[in-house]
Structure formats: structure tokens, C-alpha cells
Structure 1
């Protein structure tokens, strides 16, 4: 995934989850934030952020924050990107656990949920729910960064799909390089962590891959160890 037009700015503040103030070209600019996650460890005053220029000239904000530096590490925070990265990873055969796909569809309703991807191979058919991971602490990637009832609902629906004979995958795309392993953020959301453990025990496959992140793009990286216990 490539962004056609990006700029580097300095973060000032985030008054609410939708907008932020930055310094761009020596003047203050109000920009859109392309994630509803907290990203408190990234969006701090003085940190460098990457802006994507909006395609629509009539939009209220001309730019959106898509990534931020944490020290020397660039972390993509664009919540619209993970599904696309995983989709292309599957079509290009880069995800070893999901190969030889004959059909791949986006945004498929099953039960009371809408899963991100549906796939078919000659041997199985199944659903994939994608979660973007932007939180890292001491080399450990974690999700979520805030309690997510919606995330828990998706997990329980995925368990039901597996019980109904589908293959089920929960795919954590870590939107950075350099992490040691992934685990659920049990302190931040214990219900999500317990649901994920239950899903694994019930036959849902839990995957984590990192990403190669540049200022103007992001691509699928390599598998990362998942630790649920």
C-alpha cells in the first residue's frame, strides 16, 4: 500500500479522537486522525508524525495523520489499512497459513457480525477478522489499546463459525517492525484476552504478522510469535 502524497509534521495535541493539531511548514494545522485508538504513547507533543494529503479538496481538513515515530521506529496508525495489507498478502501468497485461495471477498456478514474477509480453497472455506496493532511496550506488541466490546463480539462470532464447520482466523497486523512477540493486552481489556484464549482453545487460528513501514507506505512483513498465556 502506497500513499501518493505525504508530509512530515510535528505533533502538538489531540483535542478529541477525530482531530489533532500539528506544526506543518512552520504553521499550525488542524488535521484528521485516521484511527480511533488512543495511541497515547505515539501522539505526544513534539513527536514527528506523517500526514497524508486528502484527495478531496473540499474536505474540512487537508491532511490526515497516518503514522508516527516512536524514537527511531515508524508506526503506521491508519485503521483503514490493515484489511488491505492482509488482503494483498493473501492474494500474493505471502501468508503461509492461508494459501492457494480460489475465492477472496471483503466485508462478509455472518451471524450478527461482519467479518473482514471470507476465503475459499479446494479444502476449506473460512473467515478472517483483521485487527491492526499499534501499541508496543519493551518490544511486545499488544492489542487492544482500549477496551473493545465490538472486538469481543467478533471473537465469539468467529468461535461459532468454527463450530459450524468454517475455518476461522483472527489476524493481528502489527503496524511496525522490530517487536519480539504479540500478546493480548490483558490489563487494558481482560475480557478480550479471555475471549481470545477461548477462541484458540475452540479451534480459531490466531496469527500475528509485522509490517514494513515507510513514510509513504506499508507492506506485509513476517510472522510474529503469539503468546496467549
Structure 2
């Protein structure tokens, strides 16, 4: 997955979930943040950031904030749209007969449904940007939606689908993701129940390039 033109800047502040103030080439700019999560441990004053330059001249903000450098870790892609994009590219290399995004099941839309030899597979995708002591954690804020997705996958697995949840690790050097039970214990419980039902848990390790994100390894959790 590649971006268009990328430039670097320095994070200053985040007035709300959707925008940030960033120093770009000596000027203070208002930029769009492509992640509505908290990202408090990442978006700290002075942190180096990467911005994609918009090719839409009518936009109010000309930059999208897509990555930030965390001291002691390196670059972290925080683009919340990136995980589904890289997973779609990755699935296209996995020999499925059919790949369908946004599959309706129960009360949810599951990110991907795939078919191979008459078997249907369902895959939900979550991006991981939270790192603590060399381990990835999800979520970084309570997610009732995430709990509902896990419950739907558990039901689907019991109904005969083959289901999985894929954590896209949007940083390098991290090889596993654990449920952030301190922030949302219900998510951890739902993940344990999904595992017990046979839902696969995948960790998708990525290479974070200057203008790209690429899945380079798959591990089972």
C-alpha cells in the first residue's frame, strides 16, 4: 500500500479528534488526522510526523497525518484506513476464489468474506498502534463495536463459517498483540470466548516505509 507525496513535519497539538496543528517547513498548519483514536502516547508535542499531501485543491486541509515517530520504537502508521487496504492486498495473494469486503452478518459488517473450494471464511481487521514494553495492545480506547464484531464471529464460527480476527501491527519490531483489558475488559473477554469457539487470531507484521505500509509476516496468536 503506497501513499502519494509524503512530507515530514513536527507535531504541535491536537485541538480535537479530527485535526492537529503541525509545523511544516517552518509554518504552522492545520492537518487532518486519519485516526479518531486517542493516540496519546504517540501524538506528543515535538514528535516527528509524516503527512500525505492531498491532491484535492478544494479541501480545507491540504495534509493528512498518517504516521508518527515514537521515541525508542520508530515510525508508527496511524492511518485507520491502512489496515483494511493492506489486508485486501495480502488476501489477493492467498489463493481465494472470491474476496468480498464489507460482508453483512448478523448485526454487523465483517471486513472481509472469502470463498475457497466451497468454504466461506470471515475476517475482521483491527489496526494496532499501541505499544507498551515491546508488546502491542488493542484497543487503545473502549470499543463496543469491536466487542460486537467478536461476538458475531463467534456465532458465525459455530454456524459453520471459518472465522478470524487479524491484528495489523502498524509498527515494526512488535510480534504480538494482547487485549488491553485495563482499558476495555469486555474486549478481552470477547476475544477469549472467540478463541475458545475456534476463531483464529492472526498477527500481521508490517514494514512501515516512508510512503508505504506492507504486510511481511503472518503469525497465529
TM-score, normalised with respect to structure 1: 0.93
Q: Whole-Å Cα distance in 2 between the matches of residues 118 and 28 of structure 1?
A: 43
Within a 5 Å distance, the mapping from 1:126-141 to structure 2 comes to 126-141=121-136
Number of aligned residue pairs: 220
Question: 1:128–1:168: 8 Å Cα contact kept in structure 2?
Answer: yes
Residue number in structure 1 paired with 2:102: 107
Residue number in structure 2 paired with 1:75: 76
Question: 2:32–2:64: 8 Å Cα contact kept in structure 1?
Answer: yes
Q: Whole-Å Cα distance in 1 between the matches of residues 220 and 114 of structure 2?
A: 24
Tell me by how many angstroms 1:225 deviates.
5.7
Correspondence 1:119 to 2:120: no
Q: Whole-Å Cα distance in 2 between the matches of residues 188 and 43 of structure 1?
A: 19
Q: Whole-Å Cα distance in 2 between the matches of residues 186 and 168 of structure 1?
A: 22
The secondary structure found in structure 1 opposite 2:84 is helix
Moved over 4 A (4+): none
Give the 3 Å change call, closer, same or farther, for CA 36–130 of structure 1 in structure 2: same
Correspondence 1:90 to 2:91: yes
Question: 1:180–1:225: 8 Å Cα contact kept in structure 2?
Answer: no
Question: 2:6–2:53: 8 Å Cα contact kept in structure 1?
Answer: yes
Question: 1:132–1:172: 8 Å Cα contact kept in structure 2?
Answer: yes
Q: Whole-Å Cα distance in 2 between the matches of residues 75 and 221 of structure 1?
A: 15
Give the 3 Å change call, closer, same or farther, for CA 128–188 of structure 1 in structure 2: same
Correspondence 1:208 to 2:203: yes
Residue number in structure 1 paired with 2:44: 44
Ranges in structure 1 where 5+ consecutive residues have no aligned partner: 94-99
Give the RMSD, CA atoms, in angstroms. Answer: 1.1
Tell me by how many angstroms 1:180 deviates.
4.1
Q: Whole-Å Cα distance in 2 between the matches of residues 123 and 213 of structure 1?
A: 35
Q: Whole-Å Cα distance in 1 between the matches of residues 59 and 152 of structure 2?
A: 37
